[in-house]
Amino acid sequence: MKKLITFIREWHSLRKCLPLSLAAMAFVVTGCPHNDYTVQLKPHGNVIERTLMFYCADGVDTNNGTPNYQVFDAKELAAISALYPANALITNGWRYSIRGDFTDSMPGDVGGAGVYTNLVTSLGDAGFYVERFRGNDDLAGMTERQFKAAGQLTDLIIGWSQTELGQEPGYDKLHQFLDVDLRRDLKNASWYFWEGNMIGNYKTNASAEFAVRFGQYLLERGYFTLAETPEIFGDLSADNPQALLPRIQRLVARKMGVPDTDPVPASLAFLGDETNMEKSFTNYLAGTDAYHAKLKQWDEDKKLKPDANQPEPSSLVADLVGNLFDFNQFSGQPDHLTVRLSLSSPPVHSNGRWDADLKQVVWESDIVGGTNATRLPFSCYATWVQPDEQFQTEHLGKVALTGNDLTQYSLWRSGQDAQRGGEWDSFLAGLKPGAGLMASLDAFRFSGEPNQTVTNDQQNIPSAIPRELLKNALK
């Protein structure tokens, strides 16, 4: 019950204390071990060389500044080794490295999925790399789970309220509020929490902004008044759930139609004492079908896990609140990932950082453990090109097609069938720079295309795309 009535306070406290907690954990020798992964990628035509270097550490040795190495998980080590060539794993003390060449699909060594492809044309090549690491990209599934939890939690609260207050004047108004407003607002609370955490990975102070936004959301919907804001802020900052109970009493009375100027009805006295309220709610939960089902499942599980403890009635609420807000994502220390993609020149498109000295696209982030978290995956992507300078100079008079234009051209050329691809390549091989180059481009048509130079619907002519790309590049 305590977890239910203080979820906003927990969110606030987590946001305030999280930076200090993570900093402290880095210096605790027996704190939270985490894995560090570095992925190095080197494209070689249709093959990309992938080297993964990794280790487990628990903070830093204050004497020499090196990681305080720990034993790497044996199961994960075996899973990583199985994705690479036999005997590719190299062990250097507590550190490991493994290398392999891959085409098309990337190995899910760190957790996730990725692809690499290289499109080869006579005018140049275009490379594409995209990969996600861990997290969860099933937005529909996460939403369904959160909304289901919101509905089940609301149903429990309604059932409890009927047991305690069903015969009280104004209960019909309270029931309407719980069944409609609270049900909706719990769903919105879970989304505010999720979006704030997600955007907080990309924008400074975003999490605090979303917390303020949700506070305004509650204010607009009458959960508290503007005059109460300073005191509520103090209550949320204090580690004292009891301080919130009088406000919950007043909120319930208000929803039952009791004016704020009138005393709180005696029937709501149990809401003013943490022990009494928790006892009331626990007694109600113990008699629910949901708890009986949980006990039945526990009884079945004991056959395989005889030491499993009998679940408490309050675990129903703890599970639902966990599905709504997933505070577990803040527990422990996340793993760390660095990805380095070596290229001869800056990428055409990428969400990474270009290191001009090393000639690498670099991505770096903490990543959550596992693939079923309520956070989006960490994603990397890059596209790059390598013009065939000799061919372009010989047939176009200069290196004309580069950058995004060469990317688009490569995608177009790779999508052609053998007949049209052959016709176009033969046409390019016969081009000569000079005064007639533009006229030759204008005149080209695939077999079966109209011969007129100008039409009102150029985009429907298959040859228009490459011709226009080259003409614009030459201009």
Mean pLDDT by 10 residues, the chain (475 residues): 43 34 30 89 97 93 85 95 96 96 96 96 97 88 91 96 95 96 93 79 72 85 82 70 84 94 94 91 95 93 88 92 74 85 97 97 86 76 97 96 96 95 96 92 89 55 92 91
Residue where a domain stops, chosen among 366, 386, 406: 386
Regarding whether 186 and 314 lie in a shared domain, the answer is: yes
Closest CA to 250 of 237, 259, 242, 238: 259
Residue 169 belongs to some domain of the structure: yes
* pLDDT at 137 (0 to 100): 83
* pLDDT at 11 (0 to 100): 38
* pLDDT at 20 (0 to 100): 27
- Give the separation between CA 112 and CA 381, rounded to whole angstroms: 14
* pLDDT at 225 (0 to 100): 79
* pLDDT at 329 (0 to 100): 58
Domain with 130 in it = 32-136+333-386
Q: How many beta carbons lie within 10 A of that of residue 27, not counting itself?
A: 11
Closest CA to 379 of 147, 32, 170, 130: 130
- Give the separation between CA 315 and CA 201, rounded to whole angstroms: 31
Element (H, E) at 157: helix 139-165
- The domain total for the chain is 3
Element (H, E) at 206: helix 206-220
Regarding whether 199 and 73 lie in a shared domain, the answer is: no
Regarding whether 313 and 206 lie in a shared domain, the answer is: yes
Residue 26 belongs to some domain of the structure: no
Residue 340 belongs to some domain of the structure: yes
Q: Which of 251-264 are b and which e, b meaning 16 or more Cβ less than 10 Å from the residue's Cβ?
A: bbbbbbebeeeeeb
Residue 366's φ and ψ, nearest 5 degrees, are: -75, 145
Regarding whether 345 and 325 lie in a shared domain, the answer is: no
Regarding whether 348 and 236 lie in a shared domain, the answer is: no
* pLDDT at 183 (0 to 100): 96
Q: Which of 394-416 are b and which e, b meaning 16 or more Cβ less than 10 Å from the residue's Cβ?
A: ebbeebbbbbebbbbbbebbeeb
* pLDDT at 6 (0 to 100): 43
Q: Are 177 and 217 in contact (CB under 8 A)?
A: no
Q: Are 190 and 227 in contact (CB under 8 A)?
A: no
Regarding whether 341 and 230 lie in a shared domain, the answer is: no
Regarding whether 151 and 132 lie in a shared domain, the answer is: no
Tokens encoding 126: 């275009």
Residue where a domain stops, chosen among 290, 313, 329: 329
Regarding whether 168 and 52 lie in a shared domain, the answer is: no
Q: Are 72 and 54 in contact (CB under 8 A)?
A: yes
pTM (2 d.p.): 0.76
Tokens encoding 339: 């990805």
* pLDDT at 24 (0 to 100): 28
Residue 249 belongs to some domain of the structure: yes
Regarding whether 41 and 162 lie in a shared domain, the answer is: no
Regarding whether 273 and 190 lie in a shared domain, the answer is: yes
* pLDDT at 101 (0 to 100): 97
Regarding whether 151 and 257 lie in a shared domain, the answer is: yes
Residue 69 belongs to some domain of the structure: yes
Residue where a domain stops, chosen among 289, 313, 329: 329
- Give the separation between CA 340 and CA 351, rounded to whole angstroms: 12
Residue 462 belongs to some domain of the structure: yes
Residue 73 belongs to some domain of the structure: yes
Residue 128 belongs to some domain of the structure: yes
Regarding whether 179 and 77 lie in a shared domain, the answer is: no
